[in-house]
Amino acid sequence: MSATLTTCPYCGTGCMLYLLSDEQGRLVGVEPSAGHPVSRGQLCVKGWNAHAFVHHPDRLKTPLIRRQGALVPAGWDEALNLVHQRFRQIASAHGPDSLVFFSSAKVGNEENYLLMKLARAGYGTNNVDHCARLCHSSTVTGLVETLGSGAMTNTVACLDETDLVLVIGSNTTEQHPLIGSRILQAVQRGCRLIVADGRRIKLSRHADLHLRHRNGTDVALLNGIMQQILELGLEDRDFINARTENFSALQQSLAAFTPDRVAAITGLQADEIIAAARMLGSAQRAMLFYAMGITQHSHGVDNVRAVSNLALLTGNLGRPGTGVNPLRGQNNVQGACDMGALPDVLTGYQKVADPAMRERFASAWGRPLPERPGLMATHAYDAALADRVRAFLVLGENPLLSEANQAHVAKALARLEFLVVVDIFPTETTAVADVVLPAACYAEKDGTFTSTERRVQRFRRALAPPGEARADWEILSALLERCGISADYTGPSQIMEEIAAVTPSYRGISYPRLEESGLQWPCPDHDHPGTPILHQQNCTRGKGRFSPVDFRPSRELPDAAYPLLLNTGRTGMHWHTGTMTRRSHLLDREEHSAFIEIHPEDAARLSIRDRQQVSVESRRGGVRVMATLTDRVPPGQVFMPFHFVEGAANALTNNALDPESGIPEFKVCGVRITPC
């Protein structure tokens, strides 16, 4: 029996756990780390089942190449040579920007770094992106503008010393359970809680105030709260004077957001908005938490700006127990962003458009780098349909189920000349690939993940990968070598040394310093203890900037033809497209099939019984799922998780994009439902 300390592969909370294996080397269970500052001897249900998919017989064990229409086993050299040869051919025929590289928020920092190096130095394109485009691209855009850094400003432990928590657009107990439970513990000790969410999520049962505003009206709600804070004189004048800029513009922009007008837009009572303003304005220390309910809108960046404005207005920044706290959804989505798996920045958010930054990397890598920022992942599908993009390499993602408007994505992937997918299991996307490369999962390799609180921590190899599967860093190194770039790394530790050398915020990070519970960036030198709280004296950009925003409705609201508002998201049991959790026995048993939550009033009007199969249609597609009658959703709204291929929520969702961040509007579109 051995016990390997590692980091949970699911959400961005960053719990550490021991993987336990038996004498034969098979994983038999999980035990939480007692001393870790976030997990503290506890885990959520996915963490307790983090071993359960690893030995599943479906694991990909050998490279596959499509021959005469079918994927057939091949050797590594043959598969890698084919990938390189085809990428070279396509790049030389159509230019390097005809290639697109999708990195992964599931793999390590070192692997994200190598993929963006491969795209930029190896094949000469900035067309590299990952699924942060679908989750927190709005945060990165919005908070960089207002604060100078797009990451969670504070730390999970700050919940132990805050007076008030506002949770807006985050089902925290299901999506970040060890943060959600810490919020519940704070409530138990007397901390006040405001939940702003149309759904009656678990946290709302403990809230002092539950604001069930209409999906897509967050800007109006937040502006309304801020207007009342000013009206009541509860703003933090000292903080505003000393630490912020552009306040008068904010003040003017808020004038129109009177309680009555905001009530009309949001569906709330004016009193509720005033009550929220009083609570937020009078708290000594308030933490603002948000997630996809804020970001996944065609006005996602504006939503983020509004949250940031609220924190600045009330002086809730730079101190323990405060902060703007976007909760990162995946184990390494923070790290994938930090590593520059984005089309416009290199590691540590160093802009590709800046010649000095490019030079730093060009001299480290010995290759000139492309200047023009690349394509966002969500724009790559249109580019493929227009033949501007001809080949994709997809690392550890399943876009056929995770992107908005599935039919559009399917058409775009079918149009490609060449699709390579690296994954641990067969997925809907590997099924249409030309080459599939089998990867080691988190338990079979070494590396680092960066959690939502910017904590860089180790994951460790507990067993060998199945069959011929290889670690992603080994696969990417092999492709780098084929591009003529030396990549004979001894392991991820050496890759981290290279990352630290070119990344100011990671400069002090090295494997020996990460042994137990990691380090929070920025960590600028080898003696630096890390930074739990950002923006303490000044914001990263200097002054915190108020960025006034106006209310823009969602792009497709319910109408006569599609009368119900579809909200989508995740459940506590499953993970994204189900690749891992649907192969974990207990998790799959708990939620075994696709469903849609519908309010009993709507169900009665449509003659739908509980657990009945229904047809759900939007302007983009239709699916059959089971109806779950519940007052978790308000009348007029329905909710579907996007985990299930047999009832894919993203067959319905709208790929209307935020003009700045390129995030799709996963949270609002119109649907109609009919009983089957």
Partner 1 sequence: MLKRLDRSDLEKLLSALATGYRLLTPQRLADGTRLLRPHGEGALALQGEPVQRKPTEAFFPQHDPLLRIGEQGEVTTCDPPVRPVALFGLNAADLGCIAFIDRFFADPPADDHYLARRKDALLVGLTGFSGPGGDVLPPANGMCDLELLAFGQNWLGVPWTPRGEALLEGFPDGEQAEVEELLESARTRGNPAQDLLEKAAGLVASEVVPDDFWREVGDRCILCSGCNLACPTCTCFCVEDRQEQAVTLRSRVWDSCQFDAFMREASGHNPLGTEALRTRRRIHHKLAADVTRWGEFGCLLCGRCDRVCPTGIGIQAVAAEILARFGP
Q: What is the DSSP letter of 63?
A: -
Measured from the CB of residue 210, what is the shortest distance to partner 1 in angstroms?
A: 13
> Of 52 and 651, which CB lies nearer to partner 1 in the complex structure?
52
CA atoms within 13 A on the CB side of 629: 14
Q: Provide the 3-class DSSP secondary structure of residue 603.
A: helix
> Of 35 and 95, which CB lies nearer to partner 1 in the complex structure?
35
How long a stretch of residues is the chain? Answer: 676
> Of 340 and 518, which CB lies nearer to partner 1 in the complex structure?
518
> Of 17 and 273, which CB lies nearer to partner 1 in the complex structure?
17
Measured from the CB of residue 500, what is the shortest distance to partner 1 in angstroms?
A: 23
Q: For the residues of 452-494, what is the DSSP string, one character each?
A: TTSEEEEE---SPPSTT-B-HHHHHHHHHHHTT-----SSHHH
CB atoms closer than 10 angstroms to residue 367: 16
* 306 CB burial (10 A radius; 0-12, 13-18, 19+): buried
> Of 218 and 597, which CB lies nearer to partner 1 in the complex structure?
597
> Of 22 and 359, which CB lies nearer to partner 1 in the complex structure?
22
> Of 585 and 624, which CB lies nearer to partner 1 in the complex structure?
585
> Of 30 and 495, which CB lies nearer to partner 1 in the complex structure?
30
Using alpha carbons, list the distances in angstroms from residue 364 to 224, 360, 502, 612: 50, 6, 8, 60
Measured from the CB of residue 23, what is the shortest distance to partner 1 in angstroms?
A: 7
Positions in the binding site for partner 1 (CB under 8 A): 1, 3, 5, 16, 18, 20, 22-23, 27-36, 41-45, 47-48, 51-52, 55-57, 173-174, 177-178, 180-182, 184-185, 188, 202, 205-206, 515-517, 572, 585-586, 589-590, 592, 610-611
Using left for φ > 0, alpha for ψ between -120 and 50, and beta otherwise, residue 321 falls in left
> Of 273 and 603, which CB lies nearer to partner 1 in the complex structure?
603
Q: Please write down the HEC assignment for all residues of 204-249.
A: HHHCCEEECCCCCCHHHHHHHHHHHHHHCCCCCHHHHHHHEECHHH
Measured from the CB of residue 292, what is the shortest distance to partner 1 in angstroms?
A: 19
Beta bridge mates, 517: none
Measured from the CB of residue 36, what is the shortest distance to partner 1 in angstroms?
A: 6
Q: What is the DSSP letter of 630?
A: -
Which two three-digit tokens encode residue 348?
A: 């540590």
> Of 106 and 176, which CB lies nearer to partner 1 in the complex structure?
176
> Of 43 and 301, which CB lies nearer to partner 1 in the complex structure?
43
> Of 48 and 381, which CB lies nearer to partner 1 in the complex structure?
48
Measured from the CB of residue 194, what is the shortest distance to partner 1 in angstroms?
A: 17
Which two three-digit tokens encode residue 296?
A: 């996944």
Measured from the CB of residue 630, what is the shortest distance to partner 1 in angstroms?
A: 12
Q: Provide the 3-class DSSP secondary structure of residue 415.
A: helix
* 1 CB burial (10 A radius; 0-12, 13-18, 19+): exposed
Measured from the CB of residue 185, what is the shortest distance to partner 1 in angstroms?
A: 6
Query: Tell me, what amino acid is at 588?
Result: D
Sign of torsion, CA 188 190 195 200? positive
Which two three-digit tokens encode residue 615?
A: 């047809």
- How far is residue 83's CA from residue 419's CA, in Å, rounded to a whole number? 9
Residue 131 near residue 570 (C-beta atoms within 8 A): no
- How far is residue 502's CA from residue 272's CA, in Å, rounded to a whole number? 49
Measured from the CB of residue 29, what is the shortest distance to partner 1 in angstroms?
A: 3
Measured from the CB of residue 122, what is the shortest distance to partner 1 in angstroms?
A: 37
Measured from the CB of residue 520, what is the shortest distance to partner 1 in angstroms?
A: 17
Measured from the CB of residue 206, what is the shortest distance to partner 1 in angstroms?
A: 7
- How far is residue 59's CA from residue 441's CA, in Å, rounded to a whole number? 10
